[in-house]
């Protein structure tokens, strides 16, 4: 357990980061540009991996920092079933700190069924059980739109956790008109994804999305959008 009374301002050296398709030094997919996260809040590219969108596809993302941002090393994996977004997002979060169990093992620990993973509290418990200790807490965001206090807490949680090498897992509701890239625009999507980076200059967050809608796997969205996607659900931080 810990306190989260932190400033969102950080001073770190600017450096680029690369997203490497595949694992164990696998050859990159032709014509697939790496994702570079540049200094001064400039973002280049989204991880769209042509021909690599099958369930279980893996990507390794290296950790990095800029003068205003920070993101963690993760082992990304596309969810293996249509209802394993919770296990896959949990696995991605665990991978920043340890060798994670398989999605199947985590699905069992989470109690995931074909109806999905019921509540973000299940994710919190499994994260803590696998890592030991009690770092993760469940944060509910019942208000839609969220209150300013809920928004402030979410931003502080993002910065505080990522600066200490803990990704967040968010349970989201994405209706038509308010969706991350690639989502089916005629459907409301109930989903889990992982937040593993932030940029303080333009208030954006870096998402690892196990659904890979349209091949969008690693991408930036605004913090404002993240804050509107979570209600009336919650997140583990």
pLDDT at 59: 82
User: What are the CA-CA distances from residue 155 to residues 43, 77, 198 (Å)?
Assistant: 20, 25, 9
| Confidence at residue 21, expressed as pLDDT on a 0 to 100 scale | 32
In CATH terms, the fold of domain 80-236 is Cathepsin B; Chain A (3.90.70)
User: Would you list the domain boundaries of the chain?
Assistant: 80-236
Q: Strand 69-71 vs strand 189-199: parallel, antiparallel, or unpaired?
A: antiparallel
What single string gives the DSSP state of each residue in 99-154? -PPPHHHHHHHHT-BTTB---HHHHHHHHHHHH-SS---EEE--SSSPPHHHHHHH
Answer whether 91's CB lies under 8 Å from 107's CB: no
Can you give the pLDDT at residue 58? 75
pLDDT of residue 235: 98
Mean pLDDT by 10 residues, the chain (237 residues): 33 30 30 33 39 68 89 91 96 97 97 96 98 96 96 98 98 97 95 96 93 89 97 98
| pLDDT for residue 53 | 62
Pick the closest to residue 33 from 48, 43, 23 (CA basis). Answer: 48
Q: What per-residue confidence (pLDDT) applies to 181? A: 92
Instruction: Check: CB of residue 8 under 8 Å from CB of residue 199.
Output: no
* Residue given tokens 């990304």 in the structure block: 76
DSSP H/E element including 89: helix 85-95
């Amino acid at each position: 357990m810990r306190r989260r009374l932190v400033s969102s301002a950080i001073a770190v050296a600017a450096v680029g980061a690369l997203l490497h398709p595949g694992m164990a030094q696998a050859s990159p997919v032709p014509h697939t540009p790496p994702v570079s996260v540049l200094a001064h809040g400039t973002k280049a590219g989204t991880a769209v991996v042509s021909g690599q969108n099958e369930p279980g596809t893996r990507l390794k993302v290296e950790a990095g920092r800029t003068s205003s941002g920070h993101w963690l090393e993760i082992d990304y994996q596309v969810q293996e079933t249509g209802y394993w977004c919770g296990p896959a997002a949990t696995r991605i979060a665990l991978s920043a700190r340890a060798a994670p169990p398989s999605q199947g093992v985590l699905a069992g620990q989470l109690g995931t069924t074909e109806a999905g993973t019921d509540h973000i509290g299940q994710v919190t418990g499994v994260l803590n059980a696998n890592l030991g200790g009690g770092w993760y807490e469940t944060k509910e965001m019942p208000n839609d739109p969220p209150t300013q206090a809920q928004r402030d807490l979410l931003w502080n949680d993002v910065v505080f956790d990522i600066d200490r090498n803990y990704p967040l897992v968010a349970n989201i509701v994405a209706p038509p008109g308010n969706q991350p890239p690639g989502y089916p625009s005629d459907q409301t999507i109930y989903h889990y994804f992982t937040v593993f980076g932030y940029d303080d200059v333009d208030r954006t967050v870096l998402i690892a999305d196990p659904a890979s809608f349209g091949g969008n796997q690693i991408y930036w969205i605004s913090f404002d959008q993240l804050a509107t996607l979570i209600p009336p659900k919650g997140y583990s931080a």
